[in-house]
Amino acid sequence: MQADFAYGAGMRQYERVLRKFLENPGIDVLYPGDGTTRVYAGLYRQLRRQGTPIPINDLWIASLAVEHNLALFTRDRHFHHLPQLEIVGGQPS
């Protein structure tokens, strides 16, 4: 969380907005655990076999979403290489 706010002119404002958002009921922060690493390994292997690797941090995000059976709101096209990942959101970029 902090890495994104470490630089930039509006870092304090962005951090306040994020903290306020995280205080909303029903908002939970997910952390990777043993189950996540197993999902990660399977997705990594799948993407390598397909010849469609995705950025490492995005693979962690996808792993958490798959592990917890959550939809991912994104416009990043590379997530579409994972058919087991439910994707919602705007136009892919």
Residues shown for the chain = 93
pLDDT category of residue 1 using cuts at 50, 70 and 90: very low
| All residues at 6 or more sequence positions from 22 whose CB lies less than 8 Å from its CB, including other chains | 29
Q: Can you give the residue range of the structural domain that contains 61?
A: 31-93
Residues 8-29: what's their mean pLDDT?
A: 87
Residues 80 and 68 in one domain: yes
Residues 28-38: what's their mean pLDDT?
A: 96
**pLDDT score recorded for residue 48:** 97
Residues 54 and 86 in one domain: yes
Residues 58-65: what's their mean pLDDT?
A: 97
Please say if the pLDDT value at position 60 is more than 50.
yes
Q: What is the number of domains present in the chain?
A: 2
Residues 69 and 82 in one domain: yes
Residues 16 and 61 in one domain: no
Instruction: Say which amino acid occupies 55.
Output: P
Residues 9 and 42 in one domain: no
| All residues at 6 or more sequence positions from 53 whose CB lies less than 8 Å from its CB, including other chains | 47
Its pTM stands at 0.79
